[in-house]
Amino acid sequence: MILVIDVGNTNITLGVYEKKKLITTFRMTSGMMRTSDEYGVEIRAMLQNNQVDYRRLDGAIIASVVPKVMHALTGAVKRYLKTEALIVGTGIKTGIRVTSENPKEIGADRIVDVVAAYEKYGGPVLVLDFGTATTYDLVTEDGCFGVGITAPGIQISAKALWEDTARLPEVEIKKPASILARETISSMQAGLVYGQIGQTEYIIRQVKKETGLQNLKVVATGGLGRIIADGTDAIDIYDSALTLDGLRILYEKNAGKENG
């Protein structure tokens, strides 16, 4: 078994794979600073609560966009789980050729997502991740990744609404029954969700137009991605486990064997 860890700006998502099967997932916040001991105790407790014996772990892999947590987190994996963590970064084998102007600027999460999408669905593929930011990343048929679009995530837009305006409340992000809202809460929900759907459809359409790839497969992931994917025909596949699958795939490529 292997432990995969995706450190995002808002949450740390962890999953355990037995061979290619994802057997459990759990989360903790990434906004709270922890020591390696705190990480270790929490992760071991979560594994135990999900009926996973940490002593059966063969390895671990981490992708992070929050550098400040890495020293404590990698230390926790080594001390409390008795294994070394493979870190997604420069030098790791991906099977993807990064052709952007500055490959070192690309976040580990985006690399993981495009590796998973290309491995699972082939190319050309446009990968959408609805996280803290909304990202659109293009992988060509021959596995080249050099084009990406970054936009504010739905949660960022929502937070700006209720923090920067005096009279707008904090609302649940969900798609209202109609865009024709008649009160404040559904008005905000309509703007956030239908606005994101409109942005998504336009960007996909423009990418297809400028690349000429009308057969481009569009794959979405991310916490709020299901809401958007359900609201448009422009997205072909919603894959909630895409990032975790990408980490498992990268572990297998770099460990030289499948996990048991």
208-218: buried (b, 16+ CB within 10 Å) or exposed (e) per residue? beeeebeebbb
Phi, psi for residue 249 in degrees, rounded to 5: -65, -45
* Beta pairing, strands 125-130 & 59-64: unpaired
Q: Which sequence positions are flagged as catalytic?
A: 109
CA distance 59 to 84: 6
Q: Read off φ and ψ for residue 204, nearest 5 degrees.
A: -60, -45
Q: Is 125 helix (H, G, I), strand (E, B) or coil?
A: strand
CA 63 to CA 243: how far, in whole Å? 9
CA distance 164 to 186: 18
